[in-house]
A = this chain, B = another copy of it.
Amino acid sequence: MSVTQLRFGMVGGGNGGNIGNSHRRGAAMDSLAVLSAGCFTRNFEQNKKDGAAWGVAPDRIYRDYKEMAEAESQREDGIDFVSIVTPNFTHYEIAKTFLEHGIHVSCEKPFTMTVAEAEELRDLAAAKGLEICLTYTYAHYPVLQQARRMVADGRLGRLISVVAEYPQDWLMLEGATDPSNYASWFMDPKKAGMSNATAAIGVHVWYLIKSMTGQPVDRVLADFAYYPEDAALEAASHTLFRLADGTRGLLWDSITAAGHDCDIGIKIYGEKGSLEWTHCDPIHLRVAMKDGPVEIYSAERAYLDPHARAASRLPAGHPEGFYEAFANIYRAFCTHLLDKKNGVDGGGYFHPTAQDGVDGMRFVAASVKSYQEGNVWVRLDEV
């Protein structure tokens, strides 16, 4: 009889943490995976409290992730995969540990601190026959499945320009840059690595471009801006890029764009028509075919591609938000793992992989190098 549900564990995400909730709620939404083990926070009392609320058995709450990897890999009913939702600079060690214990990994972005670490994890997983899922969220809103398929089906013809952005303003908010602020580590090269805005949000734009156009970004040419003026890492990037087929593009991201919440968006222009999507209105897609009126596609509507339609959980007009976009990644990842477990070849399901983790790091590294060398083209495969 085939397996229909997985078990998963979580490292990080305790004590009211925001991103942990997104993973936990997203993974639970379709009942394809049950939270069964965890090391949610370093405070063991809080850890137990969180685990109890989330239905984790007391003996599967762990004091550290190494103990967890060890113990779970020994159990008959051990976890199938782990969700890693700790700060960036810890991803590499944690992911490596679980992979070494034969456990699949779902990991927050950016994947690692360096391209080399990302490649090492990718190769380790491959060598062990394990899967890695990255949680680049935004491409997984339902109407973007329509966008992706329209491009893939040639509905836009040859692409001409791609324009994408991600403005937000968290760095400008009262208290954001105080050392006491939780998020202030983003500004510290020791913890954040080589980049602030590009690694934190630019990489989301990169993935949106890549997954909507179906093409890798071949090269970037980046210019950075700083806030405060003497910050060690950039607060905004302004970047030209080219896709593999030569299509021209331009992206910018900023964490100092006052009045913008989380306003990632993309516009794709081809010889036959154009597509536009913004996170400010996540359930609609703007479609314009040459010589016709602009059309507004709404999630779940019958005129959508059946695959795109199936990405919705609710009838048209009932907004599905950030948690549901997360859930879409987990649904694809879990279905893929279940197929594997059941020896079925389901053909794979759309979700970000280890290679996307590697390429995301290459995008960050290439952007940084381009800026440091005076705004020159840097190919992603040369960093």
Residue of B nearest to A24 (CB): B31
Indicate if the CB atoms of B248 and A273 lie closer than 8 Å.
no
Indicate if the CB atoms of A259 and B274 lie closer than 8 Å.
yes
Q: CA A144 – CA B172 in complex, angstroms?
A: 25
- Which residues of chain B are within 8 angstroms of A221 by Cβ–Cβ distance? 221, 223, 240, 375
Question: Size class of A's contact patch?
Answer: 35 or more
- Stretch touching chain B among A96-104, A188-196, A283-291, A351-359: A283-291
A residues adjacent to B (C-beta < 8 A):
4-5, 18, 21-22, 25, 28-29, 31, 34, 53-55, 158, 160-161, 163, 165, 167-170, 172-174, 221, 223-225, 227, 229, 235-236, 238, 240, 242, 247-250, 252, 254, 256-263, 267, 269-274, 276, 279-282, 286-298, 301-303, 313-324, 375, 377
Q: Sort A-B residue pairs by CB-CB distance and give the 10 closest, nearest first.
A: A259-B288, A261-B317, A262-B317, A319-B321, A321-B321, A318-B322, A294-B296, A261-B316, A258-B274, A238-B250
Contacts A/B (CB < 8 Å), 25 sampled: A5-B53, A18-B314, A22-B314, A25-B29, A31-B53, A160-B227, A161-B225, A161-B256, A167-B267, A172-B291, A221-B240, A223-B242, A238-B240, A254-B269, A257-B267, A257-B274, A261-B317, A262-B317, A262-B318, A291-B303, A314-B321, A321-B323, A321-B324, A323-B323, A375-B377
